[in-house]
Chains A and B, each alone.
Chain A
């Protein structure tokens, strides 16, 4: 009886360890941690239990297994440089949401590489304030090289003094591959602080991010008045069209998310017909920029292109 119980114990321990490595919630593990956190009311153990920040939207929280992961890498990409506003808006709304839920004074760090700054612009303090972020709560880093940007991101996450770190880059860079993202993801896991990777004009890429969103702009709904009616022709809160591209949940998810900067709350927007009647946009000058020279290697397209033989 006794050896069997010990073996069982070992098996459970191993299972829990695997679950922990994979970041999956295990009932036994959660129960054990709940028991532990009951004994130790404040501390590291209690923090690790709350490694997910729920959005307060049931369908979204279910899809994300409890909400936004606070101890993992989250990637947000946009298709075109023209979508930079929407993508950075979504990341900043996430950061503002974390900041609103966090009682500490830890600021937010926004690391932006040179190319992204030139194309998408520098941060505007007034706009950030209206968006729900205090000026003094945002630190901007503008390193010259990618290596420096990665170093800052790593140092920021490891220091534990930054509530959320945003690393903004353009495209799929060669020197920011799986190794680097794995390293950053391990750091975030150890520190329990979130790191967002904001990739403009990028393709899908294998990385160690737990989640990857595709952020696109969406029309704002009209302003709501106190009596519940809408003010026609007005511009309401910003809305993002998000596609969850990578998650543990196999079902693809696409939804419209509205950020209320006054209440610092997210809410889902009913998809109207108007949202999808968007015509194909004209080619933006940003889209005409040639692809980066130092991008990740990709397999070439299959087959070869051959000219037809002359008919006559």
Chain B
């Protein structure tokens, strides 16, 4: 076991990172050692990265203890690079973190400068001066390369800069030179941001933190109004919005809300969040208030500007979209669904439920034309869970009769009609269907249910010997037990007795 991190008093004692725990204990028996929790460290680093979103949308994690911030075009918002760096470090210090930072034209140089050098803002022309005196460890290459460099007496970057490049590449590989070039800014290096950059975003910094929900909503409306011109310029309306709330103590909340139609109207955007906020109320702990609000448009689509016609028809589509948005924002997109027909003989495969919020934008008239329509009549409802029937001795005629007798049905005769239209389609259902033999029976049910004798088609899947599962198409035989004359629940068939 080795030491991975030290606090200030421990550093004062002369302990070092990478030192063996036994050795450290031998030197100072009373030191307090805590086992490392990498997951917790990562969570903390992520939280700091979230907080850093206030400075730039491009924040990347660097190893276990570093962050890269791409501040191109952001520094002037905070009064220049010096002021920005000072603000970040000051605020982190207030939160209780000992952080160092550097701003330079390349990520490699910033990394080297803040870990091995003085840090601070490095001007474009000072790159070589800053990098040269740093140890070779500052080049972000692997341990073996470092140790072999050390063996050759190449201890500082300046030693490498003086040497011809070809022999270096031959001896240590091209990676070392790539890292060197990246640190010097001669080779481009991209950081990988944690989140995609929002297409459009606007924010509001507050001198006095807000806590109340209505204030947040009011501000959201104002921010949305400032987004309008950006959306108009693109001829677009937002489909997915994200409200980012930065709490005073550094915690960040992200609240997403979707719309069924591209939106531009600030009132309706704020309306989305009013439902959303009431839904997430328990999770949203305002604490001492939020000091920064940002509204991101994560996804936008072409805005179909429509004119009101004289009959006021337009109004109803708007209110429908509003209703769908409100319900989806408050109770989740899955709460409100629309069924869509699919081409399948199997009843439960013939329909797919999709969220209404996604459905209303795409008008799938084509699908409806080609939709599969069964010849036989289908029930209005399908049971969610198949009803198992057991025991059953064997899948013979008498066996089947006993099944239905057990279910309260009386059967006069039972003629098997093998695989009558109940064929598994596609590979999706095959696994389930493969496990059993499928029988389709034309069964004749006797009178005694309040109706004359009717013929119905019944499909039975044998799942295992001794147990039958009645297929969804016929699940409503469960209801037949009570009321055979319930025609809605009958699969029909219309066969003659």
Contacts and interface: CB of A to CB of B under 8 A. Distances in A.
Contacts of A238: 487-488
Most buried by A among B347, B378, B385, B492: B378
Interface in A237-252: 237-239
A86 B337 contact: no
Given A139-B356, A274-B450, A125 B487 contact: no
B338 A140 contact: yes
Interface residues of B, number: 68
B320 interface: yes
B381 A85 contact: yes
Given A124-B382, A129-B341, 16 more contacts: A85-B380, A86-B483, A126-B341, A135-B340, A135-B368, A139-B324, A140-B336, A140-B338, A161-B317, A217-B486, A232-B496, A233-B455, A235-B490, A238-B488, A281-B481, A287-B482
B494 interface: yes
Contact of B320 (A107, A138, A235): A107
Interface of B: 311, 313, 316-317, 319-320, 322-324, 326-327, 330-331, 334-341, 347, 350-351, 353, 356, 359, 368, 371-374, 377-385, 408, 448-455, 475-476, 478-479, 481-483, 485-490, 492-494, 496-497
B319 A159 contact: yes
B488 A135 contact: no
A155 B323 contact: yes
A278 B381 contact: no
Contact of A277 (B324, B385, B450, B486): B450
Contacts of A121: 379, 381-384, 475-476
6 contacts: A80-B482, A88-B488, A89-B380, A122-B381, A160-B316, A235-B490
A135 B341 contact: yes
A82 B331 contact: no
B492 A42 contact: no
Contacts of A232: 496
A279 B380 contact: no
A282 B479 contact: no
A122 B478 CA distance: 15
A125 B339 contact: yes
Q: Which 8 A-B pairs have the closest CB atoms?
A: A278-B450, A121-B381, A161-B320, A82-B482, A217-B486, A125-B339, A219-B485, A125-B351
B341 A125 contact: yes
Nearest to A120: B381
Contact of A127 (B337, B378, B454): B378
B380 A92 contact: yes
B486 A83 contact: yes
A220 B497 contact: no
Contacts of A160: 316, 319
Chain A at the B interface: mostly helix, strand, loop or mixed? mixed
B338 A139 contact: yes
B350 to A, nearest CB: 5
Contact of A142 (B335, B347, B451, B483): B335
A128 B380 contact: yes
A141 interface: yes
Interface in A120-178: 120-131, 134-136, 138-144, 148, 151-152, 155-156, 159-162
A284 interface: yes
Contacts of B486: 82-83, 85-86, 217
Nearest to A156: B323
B482 A284 contact: yes
Contacts of B320: 106-107, 159, 161-162
A170 to B, nearest CB: 14
Given A142-B337, A160-B319, A279-B448, A126 B485 contact: no
A64 interface: no
Interface string A274-297: 110111011011110000000000
B340 A143 contact: no
Nearest to A241: B485
Contacts of A135: 338-341, 368, 371
Contact of B316 (A161, A278, A281): A161
A85 B351 contact: no
A284 B331 contact: no
Given A85-B380, A105-B317, A148-B331, A140 B487 contact: no
A165 to B, nearest CB: 11
A117 B334 CA distance: 15
B379 A127 contact: yes
Interface string A61-90: 000000000000000000010111110110
Contacts of A104: 313, 316
Contacts of B330: 148, 151
Contact of A141 (B336, B339, B374, B490): B336
Contacts of B476: 85, 121
Contact of A217 (B385, B485, B493, B494): B485
A42 B311 contact: yes
Contact of B385 (A105, A118, A286): A118
